[in-house]
Amino acid sequence: FYGGGREKRVSEAVHTAIAFSLACGVGLMVIGIAASPIALRAMGTPDDIMQYSLSYIRIYFLGIIPNLVYNMGAGILRAIGDSKRPLYYLMASCFTNIVLDLVFVLVFSWGVFGVALATILAQICSWVFGIFYINRKYPFLHIRLFRMRLDRRLLGQVIRLGIPSAIQECQFAV
């Protein structure tokens, strides 16, 4: 749609994609939190660190929505030809995570909770930077919560076109 100059359709597709990310995020968050003990046992997590691991992974799953929305925003920017900004926001997120890890662990002595919280806050930063930039640089997109809708036809196209990218991202994570 972007290449064809169909700005209204681009906006509709973007809002559908972000709504889908939000919906998937809620589902993954609930499943992840509930299944965390099972997954950790399946991975052979030692009993002496099980509580720390469980705490970290559950807090991490609470922050899965910003992670998914950042990735969707990064995909949107790449789709309209801007591959540098997502990298910059990811770098800012990594540095933010490192700084917050140090502050939360060394200054506040929050341990595993602090490390998990730092990760979530860093992901929120990358999400906010990305959405702010898209809204400022591409006013025709103007991402707004009240515009979020799951247009089934558009969602099918978004999923079909996004599957190769999603597989690539999953391979990296695995």
Q: How many CB atoms lie within 10 A of CB 119?
A: 21
For 6-55, how does the pLDDT look when each residue is reduced to its tens digit (9 = 90+)?
A: 888 888 888 898 999 999 999 999 999 999 999 999 999 999 999 999 99
State how far the Cα of 20 lies from the Cα of 61, in Å rounded to an integer.
Answer: 17
In the predicted model, is pLDDT for residue 146 greater than 90? no
Closest CA to 127 of 80, 84, 82, 72: 72
Contact present, 84 and 142 (Cβ < 8 Å) = no
pLDDT (mean) for 116-132: 92
Q: What pLDDT, on the 0 to 100 scale, is given for residue 93?
A: 93
Q: What pLDDT, on the 0 to 100 scale, is given for residue 101?
A: 97
pLDDT (mean) for 130-148: 86
pTM of this structure: 0.82
Which band of pLDDT confidence, cut at 50, 70 and 90, is reported for residue 137? very high
For 14-27, how does the pLDDT look when each residue is reduced to its tens digit (9 = 90+)?
A: 889 899 999 999 99
